[in-house]
Amino acid sequence: MAAEYKVIGIDEMTRRGDRGAIEHYYRVTIKTKGGTVLDVDIEEKDYTPEKTAPILLKKAQNADSILAL
């Protein structure tokens, strides 16, 4: 079975939080097996292989489902 997505880029980003604190997050760019390229923002606390993989898989499957409409 072919992979549902391929990671093609990762950028570390920062933004100002609700109380003015700096928050770190990661913008992961993926290409789905259907050819859709999309960015997924992952919070720093979720940026581990175990937590990130299911998030990316769900986004890829959703994008390919919409592409098939």
Q: What angle do CA 3, 8, 9 make, to 5 degrees?
A: 140
Task: Say what the pLDDT of residue 19 is.
Answer: 86
Q: What's the rounded Cα separation, in Å, for the pair 21 and 44?
A: 14
The yes-or-no verdict on residue 20 having pLDDT over 90 is: no
The yes-or-no verdict on residue 2 having pLDDT over 70 is: no
Q: What's the rounded Cα separation, in Å, for the pair 15 and 68?
A: 34
How many domains does the structure of the chain reveal? 1
Range of the domain at 54: 5-67
- For the whole model, what pTM was predicted? 0.88
Please name the helix (run of DSSP H) or strand (run of DSSP E) that holds residue 41, with its range, or none: strand 37-43
